[in-house]
Amino acid sequence: MASGQDPQTHCIPALSPVVVHVFMTTSSTSAWQVKTQRDVVLSMLLRLVEYPQVLSLLARILSADSSGEECKRWSHQTADVVMPLLAQGRVRLDSAEAIGSLLSLLSSFLPRTLSPPDPVLRVLFTSQLYEVEYCSRSLGTMLAMLVYIVRRNEEDSMLARLEDLKLCVREQSDDPLNASSANLNDPPQTVFARLLLRTLHCMTTQLHTAVFCCHSDLSVPYLQYLLAHFLVTCTYMFKSNSHQLVTAGFTSLVTQTEPAAIPDLSQTILSLRYRCPLIVVLWAQLLTSMGCQDKIFWSSVKDNCLDTHILKTKREVCLNSEITHRGCLIAFCEYIVNKPKLIDESAVLLSKHFTHLLTLYNEGPVAEYLETCKNNPATSGLLLPAVATVCANNPQPRLV
C-alpha cells in the first residue's frame, strides 16, 4: 500500500491469500498473535473498502465465523466504515458484480449490526442522486439499500425510525422555498414513497440520456441493470404485501399529490422501447401491481404491433418492439383480469389482438384472462366475433 501501486493490481490480490490464511485456516500460533494479525489485516481491508473486491473479502470474513464477540466487533467496525462511504458515493459501484459484492457484505452483517436500520435510512436519504460525478454509484447504492430493506421485511420498525430521524427527500435542484422541510410533515410511508418515485425518475432520466446522448459517459448496460432490478424490487414490494403502508403511500402519491408523475415516467420509458424492451415490460408489470390505468401507455404498447389481419399492409416489426408488445400484452391481461368492469378495454383487446392472445395462451395471465372472458356474460359475447374475424381473414384451416 505504501508503494503507491494500483490496489486492484497489487495490494488486493496480495491480501486475498492472507485473508484465507489468517481468518479461515487453523493455526498453531497463540490466540493473542492470531487476534493481532486479524486486526491488522481487517484494518488494511477497511482502508481499501471502496473497491468491490474488498467488499467480497469482508463478506467472506464475516460469513466464516458468525459467532463470538470478535465477529460482532468486526461486523460493527465494518459497517461503521462502509455506510458513510456509501452515502458519499465513494464506494465504486460501477458494475453488476460490484452490486453483488455489496449485497453479499450486507447479508453477512450480524442481524443487530444494522438494527435499528438508521444507517441504511441515512444512506438512502443522503445519496447524491443528481450529482453527475457520483450518479451511477448513488443509484447502485439506492438499489442495494432497497433490496436490503425488502429482505429484512420489517416495515413497521423501518417507518417508525424514519419518522424519528425526520429524514426527507432531497430536491433535484436548490431548494429556495424550503420544499424539503415541508415534506417533513408527511407521514413516513409517503416520505419513503416519494424517495422511490424520485429514484425511478432519476434512473429513467439517466438511462434516457445515456441511450440518446452520444456524449454521455454513463454505461447503458449498467443503467439498464440498475433500473430493471429496481423495478423488479418495487414490483415485489407492491405485489407481495410485505410493505402495505409504503404501497398505499406510493399509490396515494402518484394519484393525488403528483398525478403527472406516472404519465411523465411512462412517456420517458416508452421512448426506450426500441432499445430497452425489458425496461418497458417491467414498467408495465409495475403499473399492473399498482392497478394503475395509464391509458396512453397501455394504448401505445398494445397498438404498437397490431394483428396482421388488422393492418392493410404487412410490415416488418423490430424485434425489440415485438418483445415489448408481447410482454406488455401479458401484463395488460394480468391488469384487466382484476378489472372485470372494463368492458370497453376488453372489446378493444379482443378485436385487435385476438391472434396474439391465442399465440400467448400458454402464458398464465393470458389464459386466465380468456377464461374470465368466457365465464363473464358481459364479455363472452365478444369472443365469437373475434374468432370469426380471425377465421374470415385466414382461409387456411387452423386450430383456434
Is the C-alpha dihedral spanning 235, 243, 202, 123 positive or negative?
negative
pLDDT of the residue at 179: 46
Q: How far apart are CA 393 and CA 308, in angstroms?
A: 9
Each residue's pLDDT expressed in tens, for the chain with a length of 400 residues: 666 678 888 789 989 999 988 888 766 677 788 888 899 999 999 999 999 999 999 999 998 876 678 888 999 999 999 999 999 889 999 999 999 999 999 999 988 889 889 999 999 998 776 666 678 889 999 999 999 999 988 899 999 999 999 998 876 654 444 445 556 678 999 999 999 999 999 999 999 999 988 766 778 999 999 999 999 999 999 999 899 999 999 999 999 999 999 999 999 999 998 899 999 999 999 999 988 878 888 888 876 654 444 434 444 457 888 899 899 999 999 988 888 788 888 888 888 888 888 889 999 999 999 998 888 887 888 787 777 776 666 656 555 5
pLDDT of the residue at 133: 62
Burial class (CB in 10 A: 0-12, 13-18, 19+), 187: middle
pLDDT of the residue at 124: 92
CA nearest 127: which of 141, 144, 143?
141
pLDDT of the residue at 318: 79
Q: Are 382 and 346 in contact (CB under 8 A)?
A: yes
CA nearest 120: which of 143, 136, 97?
143
Joined together, the cell numbers standing for residue 13 give 490480490
Q: How far apart are CA 5 and CA 375, in angstroms?
A: 71
Q: How far apart are CA 203 and CA 116, in angstroms?
A: 28
b/e per residue 81-100 (b: at least 16 CB within 10 A): bbbebbbbbebbbebeebbe
Domain segments of the chain: what residues?
1-91, 116-169+185-287, 293-399
Q: How many CA atoms lie within 13 A of 73 on its CB side?
A: 8
List Cβ neighbours of 113 (8 Å cut-off, separation of 6 or more): 72, 75, 76, 79
List Cβ neighbours of 30 (8 Å cut-off, separation of 6 or more): none
Amino acid at 267: Q
List Cβ neighbours of 287 (8 Å cut-off, separation of 6 or more): 262, 266, 294, 297, 298, 331, 335
